[in-house]
Chain A
Amino acid sequence: MTQNPGLLIRGARLAADLTERDADISVADAVDLRIADGRIVERGTGLQAREGERVIDAAGLVAFTGFVDLHTHLREPGFEQSETVLTGTRAAAAGGFTSVFAMANTLPVADTAGVVEQVQALGDAAGYATVRPIGAVTEDLAGERLSEIGAMAQSRAAVRVFSDDGKCVHDSLLMRRALEYVKTFDGVIAQHAQDPRLTEAAQMNEGALSSELGLKGWPAVAEESIIARDVLLAEHIGSRLHICHLSTAGSVEVVRWAKARGVQVTAEVTPHHLLLTEDLVRSFDPRYKVNPPLRRDTDVQALRQAVADGVIDIVATDHAPHPTEAKECEWDAAAFGMVGLESAFPIALQTLVQGGYASFAELEGLLSQTPAQIGGLLGHPSSLSVNQPADLVLVDPSGISVFDAQRLQGRSINSPYLGMELPGLVHTTVRRGYLTLDAGAVVDVEIVAAAAQAANAVQGAVSASVRGGTR
């Protein structure tokens, strides 16, 4: 087995050092990082390249621990025309993600140990990102009987996050049981908060605009009422609860209230809900059709402020690929969802960092550290320091460029940002010490697969020696 070549990153600013909002990156010292055998082995300044080491000039770039997406739809098995584990993790690498949590609404649904193990194995083989399967809360996402939560937790995939995302666990008693049962396995329920009766055939945010356009409304209360119920259930039981894709100002207030009471609730927001508003629906272009729907500008502002206040804990993409025909049709017939892995950083940079709502250090929390904690992700670096796993991303926060289809590395192109000017670029992604994105170009499939295999061999040897030495 060949070893992956070492990397020497020169002159990067570390996001963790950029703790002031609105600060220029030059206030942080430039740092060199040496990477070997999947870990950061040296950190300093003026490090000299060793033989065989790949040198990466990171002047002007900011280094983060690798981004972690707690909400990705990889579509495999079952919907491979939209995305596969391979293509979805390519998109992840292009976006600076080193780990993704794959949602359960595949076909078959990820509600058994077999499916989650398969998804994890596909991710391991592809090597572009660590794939952590999310298990379904209920069998076939039907909202009737609990799925084999224990079996999935105890499987090789060691599932810790459970979600019926796409559907809401709407039955109050079932939600209570789910919150109690996952506690047994140190898991968390990620709730897609949507009262199904209030949103039958719903198409867009309910308001004067939905009435004008004649599109059936998805009222804010359908999200807020479920969140209110669930935080009270979580408090009653003492369970952890994660709320997927908050989209309304009212939801922010409910979560703020719950956190003040000490409820163990975490909340996520998508990049698109931080930027886009319902006004885009006027075009009837189904690229803007998403669930939960795009809301009003006041909601967008409230979500940004909630990030600044720490009410919202993470940014997650809800990357939802669909084939062209699912969007090339009338609005009602179109699928919900937009791809988001490749655009997540530019949108977060624009709305949160440049907007003054988060520092780069806080962005590392939002896009990397906190999602890793919520998801119980093992092997993720807690910082870019010596002996930490080398999962990291270098971004260029300067400049502005047109976001075009060339930037999309997944199988689907249903991005709402095509043609928009967005700031920043993801420059380089390193997973377990090897490159998955090299100066803006996704590394070839075979090279990444081989590198992943080599990294696994090293890791296997290390953990075997650790086991031998300590137990």
Chain B
Amino acid sequence: MRHLLDTRTLAREDALRILDTAEDMAATQQREVRKLPTLRGKTVVNLFYEDSTRTRISFEAAAKRLSADVINFSAKGSSVSKGESLKDTAQTLQAIGADGVVIRHPASGAPERLARSGWIEAGVLNAGDGTHEHPTQALLDAFTMRRRLFGEAASRGRDLDGMSVVIVGDLAHSRVARSNLWLLNTLGANVTFVAPETLQPYGARDWPVTVRHSLDEAIREDQPDVIMMLRIQSERMHAAFFPNEREYARNWGLDDARLAQLPERALVMHPGPMNRGLEISSAAADSDRSTVLEQVANGVSVRMAALYLLLSGERTEHA
């Protein structure tokens, strides 16, 4: 793999290769010395145009455990805030000798531009672009589902065939929902989007997804193996996507009553950070079904796998 830009064009074999490699990485994290020499001498730049401490430290931990040199480049307080273009920043990183660039950017497609423009030779890893994609989040979610479903020992090589995944929340503005939808489809799962019409992506009925308005109906009809709650940002309220938090929580929040309605096996996932009491109750967030903290831990393993596959070994063009 040359870059990891999206899950929409990620082939099944490549997805499974990342997930299986992540299993290897996770195994190394059980050892006393967790650091591997794999990327010694390689330089990974975390190029973050948006604040995201969680994602950045996850990538930073992943790169460091592979012995890469890590440079954190935050757009805030840097030349970027003085109007430096993406091109100039990219060429600066090229001159510094970056082997990999992990980019988080508010503009959809910015990682694609970086990868295809010829400004830089480094492998590009999309850490979230606008409302487009967040591929490592989807991969770590799939990794978490697979492990819970099949166990550590039996996960390798398996996909998520026939699994029912219900994703609830601000789907219209969610790169996590999009990346999950494409990847889960590639891995054979069935995906349902639940949200009021205002928060459904326009045209989602043309996508391989079941679109529902009622969360109760989705729990009843789709018998989810996984229910994934997305963060609701209060500014959506002010732009007339929904009237107020109470009405949202009443209809689309995973409260205690709905938690009780879930099938026995169902996992509760959330990419974080959570709004307890809005999209998810504390009981749901803290229950045994919740994978919230596993998702964080697995994130490091999946990102180690992605960095390893991008920056070491053969470099072939991906998608």
Contacts and interface: CB of A to CB of B under 8 A. Distances in A.
A208 interface: yes
Interface string B205-245: 01100000000000000000000000000000000000000
Residue of B130, B178, B206 ringed by the most chain A CB atoms within 10 A: B130
Contact of B207 (A208, A329, A331): A208
Interface bin, chain B = 20 to 34
A463 to B, nearest CB: 52
Contacts of A330: 86, 105, 107, 109-110, 113
B129 interface: yes
A207 interface: yes
8 nearest CB pairs, A to B: A214-B132, A208-B203, A284-B109, A214-B108, A214-B131, A211-B201, A332-B107, A208-B206
B85 A214 contact: no
A328 B130 contact: no
B202 A211 contact: yes
Interface string A187-216: 000000000000000000011111111110
A372 to B, nearest CB: 41
Contacts of A215: 108-109, 130, 132
Interface residues of A, number: 21
13 contacts: A207-B203, A208-B207, A214-B132, A215-B108, A219-B202, A328-B85, A330-B105, A330-B109, A330-B110, A330-B113, A331-B107, A332-B130, A333-B86
A207 B204 CA distance: 9
A410 interface: no
Nearest to B175: A214
B86 A217 contact: no
Contacts of B24: none
Contacts of A283: 112, 116
Contacts of B87: 328-329
Contacts of B116: 283-284
Most buried by B among A208, A212, A333: A212
Contact of A331 (B8, B109, B201, B204): B109
Contacts of B207: 208, 212
A325 interface: yes
Contact of A212 (B8, B110, B112, B130): B8
Nearest to B239: A200
B105 to A, nearest CB: 7
B204 A214 contact: no
Given A206-B202, A213-B132, A325 B109 contact: no
B204 A211 contact: yes
B133 interface: yes
Given A208-B207, A210-B202, A331 B129 contact: no
Interface string A214-233: 11010100000000000000
Nearest to B49: A330
Given A211-B178, A284-B108, A333-B86, 19 more contacts: A208-B202, A210-B203, A212-B8, A212-B178, A213-B108, A214-B108, A214-B109, A215-B132, A217-B202, A284-B112, A284-B113, A328-B87, A329-B87, A330-B105, A330-B107, A330-B109, A330-B113, A331-B113, A332-B130
A328 B87 CA distance: 7
Nearest to B206: A208
A45 B211 CA distance: 70
Interface in A270-302: 283-284
A399 B231 CA distance: 57
A208 B204 contact: yes
Interface string B22-52: 0000000000000000000000000000000
Contacts of A331: 107-110, 113
Q: Which residue, B109, B172, B175, has most C-beta atoms of chain A within 10 A?
A: B109
Nearest to B105: A330
Residue of A207, A212, A330 with most chain B CB atoms under a 10 A cut-off: A330
B202 A333 contact: no
A209 B206 CA distance: 9
Nearest to B87: A328
